[in-house]
Structure 1
Amino acid sequence: MTKKRQNILVALLVIYSIAIIYFMFFGFGRPNIHNNIHGYRFSIIPTGIPLWFPKTLSFLWIFSLGNLLGFVPFGILIPMIFDIKYHKFIFIFAISIFSLEILQMVTYLGSFDTTDIIINSIGATIGFLSYKIGNSFKLASQKIIGTVVLILSFSFIMITFAEIFNKFI
């Protein structure tokens, strides 16, 4: 990879990280909600996987899907920039998300939610696997199309799994 390409990818990763942090801490009116919160909000024990196929479009469904798909780019950009194995990638990613969730709680700009950590990590995993498999194709167009198709396929499979799993818990 050329130095210029790597610099562009690093810049994209930094900009995307800033955007995600903005939405985690300041998006959706979080600072206004801060004035009404008294005490820490947290959810430690997951009660299901908050993914489902919508019967109607709702803010909650878009928010849940965003928790999955919003973190897919990390699974693509990080292995593009760094030669990293999955176990190291997901460990660093999970620690980072865990830290941000704690920071949301202690600043009263959100809550600590283990379900969010799980869904965000699944999204990053979908990106990582899609990139690694898609990148094995020969032509650049096949790599891009393959990665996009894999992201959509893995997301569909995850939502299907969540629907089935949630019926049995």
Structure 2
Amino acid sequence: MNHPLGYQALRRGRVSMPGQVYLLTTVVAYRRPLFRNIDLARSICRSVHNPRTWGDAELLCWVLMPDHWHGLVSLGPNDGLATVMNRFKSVTAKGIRCTLSTLVWDRGFHDHALRHDEDRRHVARYIVANPLRAGLVSNVLDYPYWNCVWL
């Protein structure tokens, strides 16, 4: 079976359902480790915590890695996945545009709708453990660029 590659493949079959919780991932353009830079990472984190970034969606959990971002988001009644992610990318990129004159985020994003039997807290633990699995820290609490509503 042939699997289409690229941006079109990411969008195929994508459905935005209000109230649905999604695991979302987006990468830095060209997978550059931009967020090894503390000032850029802190700027992104400030934007992530800005309520206007999410519209009517609710951000439950997130982690910013050197070259990508993961988030657990519950959609609201009005904004679909593409709107939520486009707003996220726009707001966060504008926050660092003054120090960076190049593209910040890659064009697409990956989404996974959590099934009813998937435990949100288990997925949140998986998200915040990314720096540990990547070898960036030996304890999750030592990594500064994440947050979760279940703390």
- Higher strand share goes to which structure? 2
Larger radius of gyration: 1
Band of TM-score, shorter chain: under 0.3
- Higher helix share goes to which structure? 1
TM-score, scaled relative to structure 1: 0.24
